[in-house]
Structure 1
Amino acid sequence: MKKTASILLTFIMLFSVAYSAPDLDAAVEKSVQYINSAVPSPNVSSIGGEWAVTALARSGAENQQEFFGKYYDNLVKKLTEKNGVLHDRKYTEYSRVILAVTAIGKNAENVSGYNLITPLCGFDNTVWQGINGAIWALIALDSGNYISENTEIRGKYIEKIISEQNPDGGWSLSDTGTSDTDLTAMALTALAKYKNDEKISTAVNSAVEFLSNSQNENGGFSTYGTETSESVSQVIIALCALKIPQNDARFVKNGKTPYDNLMTYYDGNGGFYHDTDKSGSNQMASEQAFCALVSLKRFNENLCSIYDMTDIKKQDENANNTGLSGKNPDINVPGFSENRTFSDIIGNSAQNEIEALASRKIINGKTDDIFAPDMPVTRAEFSALITRALGLVKAENVKNFDDVLADDWFFTPISVCANYGIVKGISDTEFNPNGFITNQETAVMLERAAKICGLENDISQDGARDILAVFEDYTASSDWAQNALAFCYKNDIFSDDTDLINPQNNAARGEIAVRIYNLLKTAKLI
């Protein structure tokens, strides 16, 4: 009898050890190894992308810069290919990317010139996909305290979230749907920062009660009747954001905490199963569990929550973009100042370039809200744009034009441009400041500006003709402009997405913005 009891006790002890929750730090370390193995090249994706990057960055794991660099390079490549548009309808794509970018210390307001925050300032587009859009937009904006002065858009998202809370305290994807554990946890994560507000605290307390009542007897959570590791992962993330410990009496069932339940899905090697069938570790489940483990680790260490990244100092993307070796030392491109956009450029092909320049105060709108991308640009206005873009101020060798007087607003920018050889006038005595600048004239001035940026022009006359021959109307360009046009096309300062140069046509404001932006990029100044 004693022998039988001893065997039974041994079995029970072995069973308990086999299913006891592993040490948190050890599980985090194993998860780091899992991610490094499962995600060799992180990309813009809900699997093998932002969640892996975010959790890895927030885990404090060492020697991950190569991993983060691969992700950032892949992101920039996609933004370039898609002209800055991650998705035309699902704005959670922007939110997810913002979290990853911020987690690795980059500034989501300037990812290779693209401002990923701007789309989330459009409330209607963001919530088109439902409450999920509002939840993750709020989390993303708060992650790096982006546009902190814009309390209106945050207020709209908060109001949207609270207004769609169900009577039982939970949230659902549809207006008539049953409250969903995952979505409720996500909503709590978004509202955690605001829980001390009286109106918001009521919603938070009700949602916490819903989650407590929804918890299964084994400490886990189900979504629409199916218990999954993703559900308990989201709850752990929410509780950590709310600073509610795992052993809070409301979330201990039969002695089991959410963390205890999560670890029953653990495969022992950094991976996690999706459901109780345990038919093989699942990468999505593993990445979500990794986020939960990191959340709990940070909670235990009294650090900012996983999505509260205000503890991270954003790197200036332009810190290393000091230009080419041969650039004029007087060049000083303005840094990022503030987010700027205009109502009439949304969806315009030049939107990202206009926003990038406007955010540096290089280019202005016609009003605070109107840019007028199709309006022509005067020669004086173009001179002002070039001087601001390159940060040039010297006007030592002033060239006198009869139609540019000392009390004219454009006297200084034209004088500065003339000093650096960027402009020369339409004659020895006239500049024609109020005349509209043509496409071929912008090419000539940009080619001259490129030279002081350190770019070299070694294109021969025959070479210029070969480059321009692909355009139907290249013979309409003036002889004095053809070399500069060829230079601008060769160096991607001018876009070659049409078969026409339209050399004699007036250049539009949107086109000018793209060309100046491209010059700065080509010269490695931004």
Structure 2
Amino acid sequence: MKNKQKWMTVVAASVLTLSLSAPTFAASGDFSDISKVPGHEKIESLKDRGFINGVTDDQFKPNQTINSAQGVQMIVKSFQLSLAAFNFIKAPEAKDSYDNVKDNVWYSDAFIIAKLNGVDIPENVNPASKMTKEQFTTFVMQAMEKAGNLPMINIKPVDIKDDSKINPSYQGAIQRSLALDINTLDSKGNFDPKGEVTRAEAAVMIYNALEYMSKIKTPTIDPIPEPSPSPSPSDDSLDK
């Protein structure tokens, strides 16, 4: 286990903020290759809000699969995770948390930020490995629940036909994603947990999660009225 004390926070330390520097492309105009993609309007919405970019100026490549570095970058950027609330004795490095994530490359900061914000990415993650649907779903749910400070909820489990293929550690997050309409099953009731997630699937999932967060209203508590002052007893009521 990595030395978590390297991240020990102190009141007097300076706040560390990390910027994400993944390769980006111009975001002006509409993508020319998503008009027939389910959820294309959600993809455009994320692009307009600056959360995702195209592979080129006008192409999103919706069916292209994503690797772990791209997936983590997308999650951190979309949920606006940061280290603004942390103070450090020393700046955290990727090697403090991961075996295979390099420092000082475009995805380093995203992995650091995700880990410190409760996204449970395995220590042995390979940034170049393709991200599966069950992995991406779990990381999205963890990021959403952290960013939105959402309480854990009791849900009625959804019947998933290929449930036996799901990694047990991911089942809870997948069930919550289905209950909250962040994910859907296919026409046969399968989730396809081991399938490699595409750029379009990832974008739609993130959009749905952000929409869910936007609809959560903080409950308002009416102020408790102060009791009316008791009338002072008259002199006639006092014992002589």
From 72, 90, 96, the equivalent of 1:383 is 72
From 118, 125, 128, the equivalent of 1:421 is 118
Q: CA deviation at 1:478?
A: 1.2
Distance 1:476 1:497 in 2: 15
From 200, 214, 221, the equivalent of 1:510 is 200
Give CA-to-partner distance per residue, 1:293-333, whole Å, 9 cap, x none: xxxxxxxxxxxxxxxxxxxxxxxxxxxxxxxxxxxxx9xxx
Match of 2:30, SS?
coil
From 441, 453, 458, the equivalent of 2:153 is 458
Q: Residues 377 and 437 of structure 1 are in contact (CA less than 8 Å); yes or no, is this contact kept in structure 2?
A: yes
Q: Residues 34 and 62 of structure 2 are in contact (CA less than 8 Å); yes or no, is this contact kept in structure 1?
A: yes
What TM-score, normalized by structure 2, do the two folds share?
Answer: 0.69
Q: CA deviation at 1:401?
A: 1.5
Q: Residues 52 and 74 of structure 2 are in contact (CA less than 8 Å); yes or no, is this contact kept in structure 1?
A: yes
Letter in 2 for 1:456: P
- The aligned runs of 1:463-478 (5 Å cut-off) are 463=156, 466-467=157-158, 469=159, 471-478=160-167
Letter in 2 for 1:421: G
Q: Residues 457 and 487 of structure 1 are in contact (CA less than 8 Å); yes or no, is this contact kept in structure 2?
A: no
For residue 60 of structure 2, what is the aligned residue in structure 1?
371
Letter in 1 for 2:104: D
What TM-score, normalized by structure 1, do the two folds share?
Answer: 0.33
Distance 2:47 2:206 in 1: 12
Q: CA deviation at 1:522?
A: 0.2
Give CA-to-partner distance per residue, 1:78-106, whole Å, 9 cap, x none: xxxxxxxxxxxxxxxxxxxxxxxxxxxxx
Q: CA deviation at 1:417?
A: 0.4
For residue 50 of structure 2, what is the aligned residue in structure 1?
361
For residue 500 of structure 1, what is the aligned residue in structure 2?
190
Task: Establish whether residue 523 from structure 1 lines up as the match of residue 218 from structure 2.
Answer: no
Distance 1:444 1:521 in 2: 17
- CA separation of 1:504 and 1:444: change in aligned 2, threshold 3 A: same
Task: Establish whether residue 439 from structure 1 lines up as the match of residue 133 from structure 2.
Answer: yes
Q: CA deviation at 1:344?
A: 0.8
Task: Establish whether residue 485 from structure 1 lines up as the match of residue 174 from structure 2.
Answer: yes
Q: Residues 28 and 57 of structure 2 are in contact (CA less than 8 Å); yes or no, is this contact kept in structure 1?
A: no
Structure scoring higher RCO (CA < 8 A, sep ≥ 6) equals 2
- CA separation of 1:458 and 1:363: change in aligned 2, threshold 3 A: same
Letter in 2 for 1:406: D
Higher-Rg structure is 1
Count, aligned residues: 182
Distance 1:443 1:346 in 2: 24
Distance 1:388 1:497 in 2: 28
- The aligned runs of 1:203-214 (5 Å cut-off) are none
Letter in 2 for 1:433: P
For residue 21 of structure 2, what is the aligned residue in structure 1?
none
Q: Residues 459 and 483 of structure 1 are in contact (CA less than 8 Å); yes or no, is this contact kept in structure 2?
A: no
Distance 1:482 1:386 in 2: 19
Distance 1:504 1:497 in 2: 14
Q: CA deviation at 1:495?
A: 2.3
Match of 1:369, SS?
coil
Q: CA deviation at 1:497?
A: 5.0
**Sequence identity (%):** 25
- CA separation of 1:496 and 1:457: change in aligned 2, threshold 3 A: farther
Q: CA deviation at 1:431?
A: 2.0
Distance 2:152 2:179 in 1: 10
Letter in 2 for 1:454: N
- The aligned runs of 1:315-354 (5 Å cut-off) are 340-354=29-43
For residue 224 of structure 2, what is the aligned residue in structure 1?
none
Distance 2:215 2:64 in 1: 27
Task: Mark the runs of 5 or more structure 2 residues left unpaired by the alignment.
Answer: 1-16, 18-26, 217-240
Q: Superposition RMSD on alpha carbons, in Å?
A: 2.4
Match of 2:33, SS?
helix
- CA separation of 1:353 and 1:422: change in aligned 2, threshold 3 A: same
